[in-house]
Amino acid sequence: MTVTIFHNPNCGTSRNVLQMIRDAGHEPEVIQYVDTGWTVEGLTALLSAAGLTPREAMRTRGDLAGELGLLEPGVSDDAILEAMIAHPVLVERPLVRTDKGVVLARPKEKVLEIL
């Protein structure tokens, strides 16, 4: 099975999920998306496969989302997606893709659904 984790090594949950994947016997492709960034097409496809809107996948912890005005109720998904492309750290982590689907592994045990 192919496993890909969109990983932020500075995030404890992301590190824990990576270890859970390895403990389950898989060596995943690790994409450090904060460094590599996102494309509109790639992020849109990933979120769609996970059944998430950009708002649902937006990281609201920290100050950035608020500073950019993204927490206001009238902000469109397109505006949030644009901000995620400009600031990759705004995407909640970790997202994990396998042959069985895509999940936002929060809580971390959600990754078990697709392993």
What are the catalytic residues? 11
- Strands 95-98, 3-6: pairing is antiparallel
- Chain centroid offset of residue 38 CA: 11
What are the residue ranges of helices labelled H in the chain? 12-23, 33-36, 40-50, 54-57, 64-67, 77-86
